[in-house]
Amino acid sequence: MSNLIKSFLLILLPMLIFFFSWSNVGLASATSNEPLYTTVKGRVIDSSIQEKGSEAGETGQLVTVRILSGEYSGNNIQLNNSLLINPWPNIQLKDGDWVVLTFEEREGMITNAYISDYGRSNSIYLLIGSYFLLLIMIGGRKGVKAIVALSITCLVLILILLPLLLKGHNPLFLTIIILAVITFITMPIIGGLNIKTWSATLGTICGVIIAGLIAFSVGTIFHLTGFIDDGAQDLLFMHGLGNLDLKGLLFAGMIIGALGATMDVGMSIASSIEEVKRANPRLSIIKLFQAGMNVGRDTMGTMANTLILAYVGSSLPMLLLLIASETSGIRISNSEFVATEVVRALSGSIGLTFTIPITSLISAVFQSKKAAI
């Protein structure tokens, strides 16, 4: 247990340090003629509603914020927080709220300051810590293993995959390679170094590759461009990022979203076949394969629903907008947004479906070879 905890600390602490340092202070480069923008944390210690302004429907708050990070940490700053009639962009504050402040500096002096967002990082860290504690309380040793595997996955995605994607490498090919590496590393941590784990690992990788190929092939036929949200468009027009392959990024995101469910199915089938073989060592490869297929069929429906419901849930506002605006059925069924979500859900589901027979076959063969030895 102590070795697992040491491994957990060695892997998780660098990630937490990275997140804390990344979220506390952000600086934008500036020349002598341009302002320097600094982002810091703060907490509201006093707030009051002001009278209506000159613009119709506009009010404001006079807030006093204690700065909690950066060069001016420990100082208080008083500023106006505008509140418009439209509630969407408003940041309605009360005493004790955590906030994110943005300073505009010229020649070493703050020329403007405003509240850019609510402060959410502390709550995020608390939620993550609660989740990890719950995993350890319920899962014990396996819970610690799950945390270690999750930490490795996050580190590889954030510190390796994302920087390489920004450098313009082929998104689909790179993502498949990175996901295969993640699977090879994390699966043994969760399941141990045994035949069950290697069967699940190989089956998962095959399923992810198939999902990627399906997404690329069908997406190309559907003429998907990747321009389905503002983030993708902003990436293309940012300085130095004009060479990004947005279509490839779209397909890469699809297979990343499918990996978790595919790993779950692969491990479930491989574990079931191992238990069946242990209960009846004389079963043939065909019988073991059939047992794996039976388990896979039961899992297939729920996991396919998991993927589709997850994608629909993330796109719910846009789907409601299409219906509320009374968009014609022809436009909806032919829109790139709908086509993208269909390809996203079905490519993952198809990859997951192929994982079932592939994992069943690999596991049946491996378990039979093990018994023969």
Residue-wise pLDDT tens digits, 253-269: 888 888 888 888 899 99
Last residue of a domain, one of 92, 122, 152: 122
Count structural domains, the chain.
2
- As a whole number, the mean pLDDT across the chain is 79
Determine contact, residues 62/78, Cβ cutoff 8 Å: yes
Let me know if 366 is exposed, middle or buried by CB neighbors in 10 A (0-12, 13-18, 19+).
buried
User: Would the pLDDT of 289 be above 70?
Assistant: yes
Q: How far apart are CA 254 and CA 243, in angstroms?
A: 20
User: Distance between alpha carbon 49 and the CA centroid of its chain, in Å?
Assistant: 38
Q: What is the structure's pLDDT at 233?
A: 67
- Specify if 163 maps to a domain: no
User: Distance between alpha carbon 307 and the CA centroid of its chain, in Å?
Assistant: 14
Name the least confident of 14-23, 62-71, 89-98, 229-238: 14-23
Return the structure tokens found at 98: 């955590």
Return the structure tokens found at 357: 């027979």
Q: What is the pTM of this model?
A: 0.75
Domain of 350, CATH number, reads 1.20.1640
DSSP state of 118: E
| CA distance from start to end of the chain | 31
- Specify if 92 maps to a domain: yes
User: Would the pLDDT of 117 be above 90?
Assistant: no
Number of helices (H) and strands (E), helices first, in the chain?
A: 12, 6
Q: How far apart are CA 66 and CA 77, in angstroms?
A: 6
Cα dihedral 261→204→355→163 (10° resolution): 70
Q: Could you list the residue range(s) of the whole structural domain that residue 40 is in?
A: 25-122
Q: What is the structure's pLDDT at 354?
A: 92
- Specify if 151 maps to a domain: no
Q: Which of 123, 81, 126 is nearest to 102 (CA)?
A: 81
What is the per-residue pLDDT across 308-361, written as a single tens digit (0 to 9) for each? Answer: 777 777 778 777 877 777 777 777 778 888 888 888 888 888 888 899 999 999
pLDDT, greater one: 140 or 2: 140
- Specify if 8 maps to a domain: no
- Specify if 6 maps to a domain: no
